[in-house]
Structure 1
Amino acid sequence: MEQTLTRQQASDAVLDLGWRFLLGSLRAAVPVGSLAEAAAVATRAVAACGDDADGHLRVDLRSDRVVLALQSLSRGEVTGRDVDLARRVSTAVEHAGSPSTGALQLLEIAIDALDIAAIRPFWAAVLGYAAEPGGGGLVDPAGQGPAIWFQQMDEPRPHRNRIHFDLCLPHDEAAGRIAAAQAAGGRLVSSAGAPAFWILADAEGNEICITTWQGRD
């Protein structure tokens, strides 16, 4: 049950449940009609996870939805136990409505650096962030701000932006978002890394990557 799953294994295991694999976690959004209903859904999700709730489950309550996330938090990975918990949670909250993928997305900030070790402590201190479990990035301990990751540069690049956004989407939502961005005046800079990532830019060349889990295993 504690075996770490590949991205493909994790995605395949929960796809039919309405959950999606995003940035090392399983996520689902359950539609609700009020904050009171959201609290009831959260209570059922916690009960379904039992003693594993504190180590695996995170819940974000809104008046129109509950976003559920499962990950083996101490390891920063998805394991077989997380998949089992996703099934149990889905059964426990199914009468509230089928999980939706439309409300699922995670934002990362990518910082290009020549000496990652030299700048990483600064970003951790100024943002109040902590080391990402099992990775080289930084995460908000409160789970509110975007994750930070550092991209190794081999030489200075003074004529392009060195901090850009990465938006992680469910793999079956990426094409629609890219089309919407282009329709809104953006352009596709490169699809060479697809389906892991597409590079888009606004009219002045500021870049963002649309990313998915695919093409990374």
Structure 2
Amino acid sequence: RIKRKHKEIKQLNDCVETLKSILEKLPQATHTNEIRGYEGAASRLYFGALKYAIQPQWAQFNGRSMNPPLDNVNAVLSFTYTLVNHLIESYIISEGMDTYVGYLHTVEYGRKSLVFDLLEEFRSTLCDTFTVAAFNLGILQPDDFRTIDFSSNDDEYPLDVQSENVEEPISTRKGILLTKDGLKKVIEKFEAKLEEQYYYMPLQKQLTYRKIIAEQVKHCKRILNDEENEYRPFVVK
């Protein structure tokens, strides 16, 4: 057990050092695709290390998966990302901006790229920390999850065949989702999380997560309107 812990600590330290190296390279990036490449590499490292934060042995997590989520941790991650996506989208619309025109995520038919762009700074600080706590504090239990057959021909549980890295993509795959009771637990606790207060540097005062998200959308609008020069993401210290 001690040897395993030492191995985990070494892997985490290596991950941190590699992430620092990626951050140092970012200012030299000359193209958006180069930035996306760094983001992809950092994301794989980050999610590879996140599994060490999950304590219950029954809570499986082998890296990020979606459409469908392949384990219970991914089920919660995907659901909380969706909750924040909807919140960000509502604020973007209220500010009169176009949800489909982003600056980091590529513009594709049906993709609300600006929503995904603004979600990035709240994934780890809000959604991921909530997910880890939901498992480690016993808020969620094994019976809060269900196995579903996802299919490329199913509108309710669609399978993203484009993400299958094979010559002939499969048409069905089993995924994990929260049960009705599990959804209730997550929604209740996540709503409470959104009302927690954190120090918001631009206004130099405490704000709830919900209000911070709204302020970041307004900040983004000012950047796009050339009213401010540099976008400052929200960071928890």
* Shorter-chain TM-score tier: under 0.3
Task: Name the one with the larger strand percent.
Answer: 1
Task: Name the one with the larger helix percent.
Answer: 2
